[in-house]
Structure 1
Amino acid sequence: MSSWASSLADPKGGVAPSTTRVSNLANHLTRNARQLGDEPALIWGDAQWTWSQMDARVNALAAGMRDRFGVAKGDRILIQSQNCNQMFESMLACFRLGAVWVPANFRQTPEEVAWLAQSSGASGMIWGAEFPDHAAACDTPERNFTLVIGGTAGDDNDFDTLVQAHMGQTVPNAPVDRDDPCWFFFTSGTTGRPKASVLTHGQMAFVLLNHLNDLMPGTTHTARSLCLAPLSHGAGVHQMTQVAAGAATVLFPSGRFDPAVAWKIVQDHKISNMFTVPTIVKMLVEHESVGQYDTSSLKHMIYAGAPMYRADQKYALSVLGKVLVQYFGLGEVTGNITVLPPNEHFEDDDEMRIGSCGHPRTGIEISIQGNDGTEMPTGQQGEICVIGPAVFAGYYNNPEANTKSFRDGWFRTGDLGYVDEQGYLFITGRESDMYISGGSNIYPREIEEKILTHDDVSETAVLGVPDPVWGEVGIAVCVLRDNAGVSAETLQTWLKPKISSYKMPKRFIILDEMPKSAYGKITKKIIRETLEERGLLEQEVTS
């Protein structure tokens, strides 16, 4: 057994890693270069690379990493970069060599990225020139080399200099087995430090096919995909799906997100699909520019990472029509748990399965389980557990987390929900988001949905905080729409008759902007930290 495989501590009940040969993921690029050579593969601003050009650059990078730095199958390569062509090329070059791509969230601190380097055992690092502090923090004895994206031309460690020096060389795609790792997909670390979810060549092959079948049916080499989010996580999986289809990816320009720029790109490049999160969908459809550009090419606006509130969902449908695609999935299941396709999104509440994130994806099975692992009856809440080819191989070098996350072969998501009689899944919240007030379990999702029906509320999050009388009480954090003048007290009075008294938040807090993760998601951990930094939780803790 290889060292990486033994580190997984047999997370699925003692089954040894497979020795079944599969196609290397980089073969999608090889095929596209042969069949679609002069067609566009990647577009970034005024620059464009064809499939042949991209294949040549990936070959050159792979040759340089192999010949100059000795990168071989199984080596982990850490990436600290904003979206750019070099970041995408580094992914494919690692796959081609059989190495493991280890992308960091570029917004993380140097200390956080140093943890990723140490915990993954990275032997090399590729970093953007704007991140010298991150590179310095990751300078350990285990690191054999660095490459700088945007470094000084001619330097030995400059990314493009290395590529130019090896142009013309061809590197064959390394032979890989189904369970050979290709990507360490770090969790967002909502509790504790991030963990490296091991994604494999065989698993990812299924994921790409599943994405094309369930999320974007009919996607071909004529499609164009707009990449809005960092390639380090879900957007990277989505863009590899475009490679599998031979479709071109358009990278959003660096810098602050501007909805007007996004809609202009949709018009200019006739964008067919994009992947994002509900908060970005909300920003896009509520921006005045949405009506200034032709969006008729857009067939699939895929949102994930969190459920979309019903009020936002209805408004997006009224603006864009039936192009919304929702999916639910964690990094550990590579986004593959459920799908709610465009034809199951409705503005009319009577037609819509309100609150559902869809039905199980092709090849995926869902079980709603109690604390002891027994399956809950239809309609009753429990932990959402899944099995299927999209489930990851386990956490790298973390047997304790593997033991906790797998039970009888089922991956335990930590999310709570139930299924209806037709098998549609309804998420009621994360187990970690639940709080207990006066002995009653409170799930914030229901309260948040009700608050968002107020015309003046744009975003909200409810979280539990310590209370000397009730154990915990809820506080509601809200962001108001432009020009709204409603007060926190008025919101509290308005909500009171609409919800059970034991679920009623004790206090409302109005912020100018909702704290979000680097991927645009509203996470309770970040909100709690922000409120603590501003001294806004002291009333509850000391009352």
Structure 2
Amino acid sequence: MTTDTLDWIAKWADYTPDKIAVTSFDSEEKYTYSQIHVYANRLVEKFEELGLQEGDRIAVLAEHSLHYIVLLSACQRSGIIIVPLNYRLSLSDIEMLFLDCSPALLLYSENQKEKLGQLSIPLPKTIHLDVIERYYKDGVDVKPIAVQIKEKNPIFIFYTSGTTGRPKGVIYTNKMMFWNSLNTSMQLGITFRDSTINTLPPYHTSGWNIFITPLLHKGAQIDMVEKFDAERILCLLELNKTTLFMALPTMLAMMQKTEVFNRVNLEHLRFIISGGETVSPSLLKLWKEKKGISIRPGYGLTEAGPSITSLHHDIAMTKPESIGKPNFYLKTKIVLSTGRKARVNEVGEFCIKGNIVSPGYWNNSTETNNKIKNGWLHTGDLVTKDKDGFLFLKGRQDDMYISGGENVHPQEITATLLTCENVMKATVLSVDDPVWGQCGVAFVVLENEKSLKKVKTFVNKKLASFKRPKHIIILDEIPLTSVGKISRKKLLAYYKVYKAKLQP
């Protein structure tokens, strides 16, 4: 791939210079493709003045904003790596990420200024984003710069959430971004006429590579908000005639509970993409019946894509528990622990190969070699494939537990619980059991507590005895991590409290 192939901002600045590229509904600012192009060149010059070189890292402690889009283009042209830090982490966790990526520069927003002052480790040169903005807006015009964007150069380091251990920095390259954009555009038919509202954070791959980078590739429009507010988002989707939207199932559930949900006209919204957790059949049905909108579940991960599989909207109601089929330009296989390829409906590890796979983890060759073998990324996710080729997520390898000698997959139990009309949300974890070795614990959000008896009857009817959760714990809400995934740590804490109450 050449620079012409990868410098999408420069291309659209030439083709449609006055087209709005990004809008912030918080600052009420808009940047055209031409403005981003000029701003990025000024920022490249600033980086050179600061002595930054290809391969250096710029850590960013800030919410998603227009600054980030300019920074993306400037870093591509400079060969510099953006490290978006999770500002919701504890100070010690943030310090750990700093020490791992060793940034040459730190950019921060006003909202994160206080947290920055509380860090106890030596920091690199730090610059407020307002200062950066003044430079690239008020700076003098620079001469055309010689740009050589290399496809193998990293553009991001995304730190995984670390729910199963120490966070790992996933290297995300220009090549990955290009092929992921093609995958996403092919499956959704994205064109320059499309638009989205991004509510996802910048420290997660979804906050960049579900819609932002594919829409920049297509010369489309991206609208941004710093925080998710269900009623506000619904109003903005209608007002701006948004065509594509990405939301976690939890966000969609919050939106449908508002009074605004029944009033807004979302006829321009072609698809809603969802993932990160199980999308319940009831959620698919409600949005389709009430708003005429198809929700397309899918699967992705930080180490690849993230556009890996997608369930076509025509099939969503037929196979609502599926994550769909693999997208374009990648290879997949399902393998058993013995190395044999899985047969139809046989549970195995999902493996991915292609240009959308990360070259590895930053500063962690051991973990890289454990996960990527002969070009195949071993995801650690367990799936099955039915006779029609549709994939079904069964959980993580390290989530599977053995109860009375039988293998049990929590994802399968969760999916079954979500088909019960009395269950609004559910998830299942395993805990040690003195009799069976391990057993399942289900955490559910119910329409009302009186529904518990019906749920237990449903479980006894639908699940084999060894798959039935030994305990069902009612919660007001399923706790989530800062990236919107279910928090195992908090659930286990709830279980400890529950277990203590059972003690005589």
What are the residue-to-residue correspondences of 1:71-470 with 2, within 5 Å?
Answer: 71-136=52-117, 140-141=121-122, 143-150=123-130, 158-169=131-142, 172=145, 174-214=147-187, 216-217=188-189, 219-233=190-204, 234-237=206-209, 238-252=211-225, 254-255=226-227, 257-346=228-317, 352-470=318-436
On the 8 A contact 2:300/2:309 being kept in 1, the answer is: yes
Residue 296 (structure 1) shift:
0.6
- Cα-to-partner distance string for 1:275-332 (whole Å, 9 max, x where unaligned): 2222222322343322211201101211122331222222222233353222211111
Q: 1:524 and 2:488 equivalent?
A: yes
On the 8 A contact 1:464/1:472 being kept in 2, the answer is: yes
Compared CA separation, residues 173 and 204, structure 1 to 2 (3 A): farther
- Cα-to-partner distance string for 1:210-253 (whole Å, 9 max, x where unaligned): 21112x20x2222211112113221211201111111111112x
| Aligned residue number for residue 36 of structure 2 | 54
SS in 2 for 1:441: strand
Compared CA separation, residues 523 and 91, structure 1 to 2 (3 A): same
Read off the aligned partner of 1:401 and give its amino acid letter: E
Residue 129 (structure 1) shift:
1.8
| Aligned residue number for residue 65 of structure 1 | 47
| Aligned residue number for residue 459 of structure 2 | 495
| Aligned residue number for residue 153 of structure 1 | none
**Unmatched segments (≥5 aa) in structure 2:** none
On the 8 A contact 2:403/2:438 being kept in 1, the answer is: yes
Mapped to 1, the partners of 2:258 and 2:186 lie a distance apart of: 31
On the 8 A contact 1:492/1:507 being kept in 2, the answer is: no
Compared CA separation, residues 186 and 476, structure 1 to 2 (3 A): same
Read off the aligned partner of 1:116 and give its amino acid letter: L
Read off the aligned partner of 2:153 and give its amino acid letter: D
Compared CA separation, residues 173 and 383, structure 1 to 2 (3 A): farther
Mapped to 2, the partners of 1:167 and 1:278 lie a distance apart of: 46
SS in 2 for 1:122: coil
SS in 2 for 1:355: coil
On the 8 A contact 2:423/2:455 being kept in 1, the answer is: no
On the 8 A contact 1:24/1:95 being kept in 2, the answer is: no
Mapped to 1, the partners of 2:70 and 2:336 lie a distance apart of: 44
Residue 137 (structure 1) shift:
5.9
Compared CA separation, residues 420 and 472, structure 1 to 2 (3 A): same
Kindly indicate whether structure 1 or structure 2 has the higher relative contact order, using CA contacts under 8 Å at least 6 residues apart.
Answer: 1
Compared CA separation, residues 279 and 344, structure 1 to 2 (3 A): same
Residue 456 (structure 1) shift:
3.2
Read off the aligned partner of 1:236 and give its amino acid letter: W
Residue 109 (structure 1) shift:
1.9
| Aligned residue number for residue 30 of structure 1 | 10
- Cα-to-partner distance string for 1:253-282 (whole Å, 9 max, x where unaligned): x34x32221111111111010122222223
Residue 182 (structure 1) shift:
1.2
Residue 391 (structure 1) shift:
0.8
On the 8 A contact 1:63/1:166 being kept in 2, the answer is: no
Mapped to 2, the partners of 1:320 and 1:25 lie a distance apart of: 38
Compared CA separation, residues 138 and 91, structure 1 to 2 (3 A): farther
Read off the aligned partner of 1:419 and give its amino acid letter: K
Mapped to 2, the partners of 1:493 and 1:423 lie a distance apart of: 32
TM-score normalised by the chain length of structure 2: 0.92
Compared CA separation, residues 268 and 322, structure 1 to 2 (3 A): closer
Compared CA separation, residues 305 and 25, structure 1 to 2 (3 A): farther
On the 8 A contact 2:284/2:320 being kept in 1, the answer is: no
Residue 524 (structure 1) shift:
3.0
On the 8 A contact 2:18/2:33 being kept in 1, the answer is: yes
**Unmatched segments (≥5 aa) in structure 1:** 1-20, 151-157, 347-351
On the 8 A contact 1:24/1:201 being kept in 2, the answer is: no
CA RMSD in angstroms comes to 2.4
On the 8 A contact 1:515/1:522 being kept in 2, the answer is: yes
Read off the aligned partner of 1:517 and give its amino acid letter: T
SS in 1 for 2:314: helix
| Aligned residue number for residue 510 of structure 1 | 474
> Alignment identity in percent?
26
Mapped to 2, the partners of 1:178 and 1:536 lie a distance apart of: 52
- Cα-to-partner distance string for 1:358-394 (whole Å, 9 max, x where unaligned): 1111111111101132212222111011111111111
Compared CA separation, residues 23 and 319, structure 1 to 2 (3 A): farther
Mapped to 2, the partners of 1:279 and 1:167 lie a distance apart of: 46
Mapped to 1, the partners of 2:287 and 2:487 lie a distance apart of: 22
Mapped to 1, the partners of 2:406 and 2:62 lie a distance apart of: 45
On the 8 A contact 1:383/1:416 being kept in 2, the answer is: yes
Read off the aligned partner of 1:329 and give its amino acid letter: G
Read off the aligned partner of 1:48 and give its amino acid letter: K
On the 8 A contact 1:279/1:521 being kept in 2, the answer is: no
